Structure 1
Amino acid sequence: MVVKNLAHQARAKYGAVPHASLKWNETTSEAPMELFITDEHTENFLSLKTGGDTDRGLLTGVMAFGSIPCLLIALWLLANGNYAGAGNALIVATPLVLIPFFWEIFRRLPLPIMFNRRTREVYFDNNGELFHAPWDGMEALTCEFQMVGPYTAGMKNSSLEIMVQRFGDPENALMISLGSPIGKTLEMQKGFWEYIRAYMNNGPWFDKNGNSSNSDTFIKDLLASNLKQSEFLGHTLQVITEKKAAANGKNYLSGIDAAMFLGNLFFHPLNLVQDFTYKIAKRRSRNRWPKIVLERLQSDGPTTRLVDIEK
């Protein structure tokens, strides 16, 4: 199904609120912007998190963190020759880590939205059903609205949606959201659309204006703020180092810096385990894509679009 007259659909859906129809081959005049939902940016595909399980691995991290005293006791008993006591401590500590770890990696992780640059199409998994859309000719609908709660003032939000069709049933279509609309403005969503446009049309690497580039420097800078849990400690150290260099020997360490460093250092083992668990779960979940998608994500895979197969 081809999306037609999205502006009319926007008026019908949202009424007289700020909205825009964004096209795959027309600039929005905004600079490319990443909104902390990019999962992977590779030469072949761009994947966007769909939410729902972004905290996957947290339970394993917490339980691993809680098992540290048992491990320390086991080491102390082992050093004192109490092998039976050390074994008992390990018997207590091991299930605390392994049970949540296996539960989290074997539990299904929502598949991301995939933008395939090689075949120029988009894939989306809806409860095991494959939806897709060709990139050429794609339009996105963005709308800005305001939410007012009983305990909060009005907050601007902006959605960014595209239409995809079910594989084998083109008349069955869905409007899917590219990330959460909460706290975003129309300009931010236009910037994110420029990020996707630059990747699909000029990528995989591009500069701050969205033009094709042989260097991935701008992409690394763009994604640098999208930190993993285990990267918070390194980021805090980098901030402190930069402040030290700029202070010229003066007192540069604030109370907030010290608290952030100590907090991130204390929880660093937890964050490492959480990121490792999420990585394993994501790798296992990726294999749940149908073969027809997996082979198109490979560098040497087919380049025919799913929409062409349906014809």
Structure 2
Amino acid sequence: MSDPGHTPDTSPAAKSTAATGPGRILLALRSSPLVRSLRKDMVASAAFGVLLLLLVAAAVPDLFAPYQVFDLTQIRLMDAFRPPFWLEGGSIEFPFGTDDQGRDILSAIIYGLRVSVTVGLGGVALAVVIGVTIGLVAGYVGGIVDSILMRIADVQLTFPAILIAVMIDGVSRAILDNAAREDAAVVVLIIAIGLSGWVEYARAVRGATMVERRRDYVASAQLSRVRTSGILFNHILPNVLTAVLVIGTIHLGVAILIEATLSFVGLGIPPTQPSLGTLIRVGNNYILSGEWWIAIMPGLALLVLVLAINLLGDFLRDALNPRLK
């Protein structure tokens, strides 16, 4: 029997103890200082909401796109060059208008998001793996190893990222035939972006590692004869991830722009796998003839995507900076 005089404990600690599974995770997220800061920042909250919506649409475009625009059986040439719905001749059936083949621009943008986001995330992930590994080794080992790795990074910094990406794309064209090149276009772009963007991670992680290696917990691990790889990835890495998260968020926007630039000039994604850059490239052919929406609408989608990423990156940089607390 329950005690009638007993008052239930409704403190946050009791709620945290009682919560299980998803409830405990949600409670932990709500009480996180980072989440509380995000909820107070209206601009960052709006950017996070827009970015989350775009990422979900990119992940499952079939659920968001009104039409299967790249299904050849659904092409309707009679609807070609329809303007957006707010212009004369437009229809709410095609909110952003149609292209030269009668395909819905909104649906094409949603499917293009999938390729652009995939390339951006893949390129950033590869750059993080390479840069963090090199930064940890250079900062922990020091000496001649540090000098060699940092000189390699200095040399790469003299080349613009877009130039390195173009060079790697050119090598792939020399090695692969046209059919294989189209099939491997996404992978080639991911490699190009990853190899051109690792330096920032390496330099940031190296500096943080040089500080962390003097901490007592590193000395304790060394005395306990923990392997060097264990010290680097199990002890030092978790303490330098803040800088990696901030750089990675901002680098994602840069990676998506690099993909769009290469696709726009014909060196990236082929028309059979349209990205936002490819859609802008195709629409650019019709701007002077008056069908401006074919290029402008994908361009606006790219602008919104990169702007949301950059605003969220600025928020993370300020929120995770201990000097501003």
| Larger strand proportion of the pair | 1
Which structure carries more helix by proportion?
Answer: 2
Per the normalisation by structure 1, the TM-score is 0.22
TM-score (norm 2): 0.22
Structure with more relative contact order (C-alpha pairs < 8 Å, separation 6 or more): 1
